[in-house]
Chain A
Amino acid sequence: MTINQSGVSKKKVLLIDDEPDSHEPFKTKLEQEGYEVLTANGGEEAWQKIVAEKPQVLILDIRMPGLNGEELLIKLRDTEVSPGTKIIIATGVSDYGHTKDRIMRNFNIVAYLEKPVALRDLVEKVNAALGKTNA
């Protein structure tokens, strides 16, 4: 955990998406908002970073090759490796709400965002998840 200028430790946000370019704009914005941003390109990599870093917030895609978002959620729930981590879904799955319903029912999700995600929305949800009223 890094310490920022004001001496308060920065909250960690882990961005998980298999799209190569997709982290960059979100990372830039969240860093501007004062978060420490980690990235992972797939489920396996994400799992390692969660275990190692225990991020406060996950921003998770669902469809990914290898260990996909849903499988990662099951693993998190069943192992309770990082129980305090808030999970935000950001996905491009468009199957008329089927996936969303299922995930919202089975896991403890604080926000479900659909791609394309608006930066403002993402920041708002991250802030809300961490109980921050303004950035």
Chain B
Amino acid sequence: MTFTTLTGLLNTLSSLGLAAFVFFKRPKHTTNQAYLFFGLTVGLYSVGYFLWGLAPSAAEGLFAFKILTSGIILINSAYLEFVFSLLGERKRKWILWTCHVVNLYFVYATLSLQLFKSVVQKNIWGYWPVVENLFYAYFAIWLGQFLYGLLNLYVGYKKTHGQRSTQIKYVFASTLIGYFGGATNWLPWFNITFFPPHLNILVTAYVAILAYAVVRHHLMDVEVVIKRTLVFTGLFATALVIVAVITTVAQSYIGQSARFTPIVSTALSVFIAILLYDPVRSFLEKLTENVLFQKKVDYEKIEEDVSNSIKITDLDKLCQSLVGIFYEGMKLTHVILFLYDEEKKEFRIGASRGIGREPWLALKESDSLTQGLRRENTGTVYLKADLEIHQKVLSKGLEALRCETLAKVVFEDRLIALLCLGKKKSDEDFTTRDQQLLLKAANQMAVSISHATTFRLQRDYYALQAQRNKSDALSNLSAGLGHEVKNPLNQIRPRVELLIDAYENKRLRSDDPAILDNLQTQLRHVDRIIKIMDRLSRFARPTEGEAIKLGAVSLRPFVEEAIGLIGEKQLANDNIKVEIKIPDDLPTVYAEETSLIQVFYNLIVNAHHAINRNGVIRIGAQDVPQDGKVLVKIEDTGKGIPPENIEKIFEPFFTTKPTNLPQDGSERFTGSGLGLAFVKKYMEDLGGSVTVTSQVGKGTTFYLKFLRSRGEKE
């Protein structure tokens, strides 16, 4: 069997196989039927070709040529039928029928030996017909029909767009290649025999290209889900055929040149085949697994994952998760999720996979995608392949992102996000099922993204509040401290002025005792300021990021420190008496120094604010050895806390103090509502607790329980 003979067999099998596949996928559609017809005619031609290759005598060669030529003639009829059907051409049916009639006549002419009467041995390629004059007319008409079909395809390709256009392009290219391959057989007809018709194999190439278009671009509306096993089998079969071709060719050449006996050369080719079998198999296995990984998309799992994502409240994590679901679930080249930035009026990347560090970070209003979307009010999921001509801007926008599909995420009529999907790694087109999935997912994403966005706003709000609280505490503190510092400064400044004054007026005498007194007074007040600043820095020492240094501490100095921070004078100015009753033998407790001052500061400031003016703050402490705790009581004679508020006072942001002082002077203190929340958290972190009792109009008592440090005494 020669190579050309083998191509005949291969072409027969491949074209009939594809035609049968396409037909049985949608048997009722005319295009699919037309393609079956086309496949059958190519098959007929190829069968004839195969038989011709095997023909042992001129009689059998002539018989083979009758089949072969009939096939060639009918191919054009089927081709035009298929092209017209594919393009939806209905008006020029008469052309088709004319061709059919003409072609049938030529089939008749072939069978009645009017195109050729006999075959002779030409070159080494076997028997070939000796042409009659009618052959030239037939050849011209045949060529005309083929070119007419090709022209129609080209026009159709130019007229359409999107997937249709792509499909037609594939038909155009593949049939051109197939015809070209087959056309190498025309040469011996004209007695040109130096070029063997090896390119006949291109007919199989045409089938392969068209099969690809069927799978990839849904040519003839065939939806194919290729199973891994099927791909592997197909590839393996192809590889085997290639090996077979190589060994056959090798057999005939080597057999001829090296003069091996047929048995030796067959054994040799079997040996080669065995040798190649394993590496080819493992290579193909890897190829199917990695490159042509066609695992079916698990739509249900993706849907479930997307609906589960609503539980993610962190917007960044949510975006990452969603992008991951599509990227991995649908096996895409890349996924980008854009979030709309209300402030900047642009879409910014919330998360992405597979795009690396792309330079575009945002879609501005001026970008073609955004513009395209503004023009498109309808629809949620856009497939680039399905976009109409008037949606060119949108198409261009998707092109820029190298995206095939876009899903709009709309919440309460606002476009809040865009999900842009790249190609499938399998190179398949997006299907209606994909579209359904994205539609459903877009709705769920609208909920989860808006949920997370709200959550983020809320978190930002709390962060802002916490920040505000800190600055509030600081402003309270600095107002108090400001007073504390300004008083000594008010002692220093005029004394300095007096000295300068005396110096300028030459009244400065070094033995004047008033000068020494002046300077000593100044020094005393400078020391006062230094002490205040020390306290402030101890209070405001940042503890964030620092490991809390827990240790055994005695409480009394911290109570005194806190009072010092508020300012004994401040308290005195408001006629508030502070009574401290802490036993000298009180055990040390587990605590961390800076926070401990803040706990006492917060509670004593609260007591001060509750009293406002004229009252007493009593601070007591006692050992409770049976509990292993130390109890601290901070009691005030202030206005008290109403029962309905007592549960809430430890909640963050709960406060009865105004956040800004009213102009009428009815309130003197501001609050952010975080002081007591801080106290509670800190005490609990220490393994202690804080509780409260209160009576409106009488006063409030806070109880702090600290863990004793191993029951040691101070």
Contacts and interface: CB of A to CB of B under 8 A. Distances in A.
Q: Is the interface of A mostly helix, strand, loop or mixed?
A: loop
A21 interface: yes
B491 interface: yes
A120 B573 contact: no
Contacts of B495: 25
A69 B486 CA distance: 17
Interface residues of B, number: 28
Contacts of A101: 663
Interface in B570-598: 570, 572-573, 575
A93 B570 CA distance: 10
A102 B497 contact: no
A25 B494 contact: yes
B10 to A, nearest CB: 92
B486 A96 contact: no
B487 A119 contact: no
Interface of B: 475, 478-479, 482-483, 486-487, 489-495, 497-498, 501, 518, 521, 525, 570, 572-573, 575, 661, 663-665
Given A25-B498, A92-B487, A98 B573 contact: no
A114 B483 contact: no
A29 B575 contact: no
Given A25-B498, A92-B487, A95-B661, A118 B573 contact: no
A83 interface: no
B493 A66 contact: no
Given A25-B495, A63-B573, A64-B573, A116 B479 contact: no
Given A95-B479, A96-B475, A98-B661, A65 B573 contact: yes
Interface string A1-33: 000000000000000001101101110110000
Contacts of B487: 19, 22, 92, 115
B486 A92 contact: yes
Contacts of B489: 115-116
Contact of B491 (A19, A29, A94, A114): A19
A64 B487 CA distance: 12
A90 B266 CA distance: 119
A116 B489 CA distance: 5
Nearest to A94: B482
Given A25-B498, A65-B572, A119-B498, A94 B490 contact: no
Interface of A: 18-19, 21-22, 24-26, 28-29, 63-66, 68, 90, 92-96, 98, 101-102, 114-120, 122
A33 to B, nearest CB: 11
A22 B572 CA distance: 18
B104 to A, nearest CB: 104
Contact of B494 (A18, A98, A114, A117): A117
Nearest to B493: A116
B271 to A, nearest CB: 98
A116 B50 CA distance: 114
Nearest to B482: A94
The 4 A-B residue pairs with the shortest CB-CB distance in the complex, in nearest-first order? A94-B482, A92-B486, A25-B494, A115-B490
Contact of B490 (A68, A98, A116): A116
B515 to A, nearest CB: 12
Given A94-B482, A95-B661, A19 B573 contact: no
A54 B483 CA distance: 29
A117 B475 contact: no
A118 B493 contact: yes
A28 B573 contact: no
B491 A119 contact: no
A132 B399 CA distance: 84
Which of B490, B497, B664 counts the most chain A CB atoms within 10 A? B490
A74 B475 CA distance: 28
A94 B493 contact: no
Nearest to A68: B573
Given A93-B483, A116-B493, 11 more contacts: A24-B521, A26-B494, A29-B497, A29-B498, A93-B479, A94-B478, A116-B492, A117-B493, A119-B494, A119-B501, A122-B494
A115 B486 contact: yes
A119 B497 contact: yes
Nearest to B660: A98
A28 B497 CA distance: 11
A21 B575 contact: no
B490 A92 contact: yes
Nearest to A113: B490
A115 B525 CA distance: 14
A115 to B, nearest CB: 4
Nearest to B518: A25
B494 A94 contact: no
B668 to A, nearest CB: 8
A25 B661 contact: no
Given A65-B573, A65-B575, A102-B665, A29 B482 contact: no
Contact of A92 (B482, B494, B498): B482
Contacts of B572: 65
Given A63-B573, A98-B661, A102-B663, A22 B491 contact: yes
A112 to B, nearest CB: 14
A117 B489 CA distance: 9
A10 to B, nearest CB: 20
A29 B493 CA distance: 13
A95 B480 CA distance: 8
Nearest to A64: B573
Contacts of A92: 482-483, 486-487, 490
Contacts of A114: 486
A67 to B, nearest CB: 10
Nearest to A20: B491
A27 B664 CA distance: 35
A22 B490 CA distance: 7
Nearest to A66: B575
A128 B461 CA distance: 51
Contacts of A96: 475, 479
B28 to A, nearest CB: 84
Nearest to A19: B487
A40 B267 CA distance: 128
A38 B501 CA distance: 22
Nearest to A26: B494
B494 A116 contact: yes
Contacts of B479: 93-96
Contacts of A90: 490
B597 to A, nearest CB: 22
Contacts of A24: 521
B225 to A, nearest CB: 72
14 contacts: A28-B498, A92-B486, A92-B487, A92-B490, A95-B661, A98-B661, A101-B663, A115-B486, A115-B487, A116-B489, A116-B490, A116-B494, A119-B497, A120-B497
Contacts of B490: 19, 22, 90, 92, 115-117
Contacts of B493: 116-119
A21 B494 contact: no
B504 to A, nearest CB: 12
A60 B528 CA distance: 23
Contacts of A122: 494
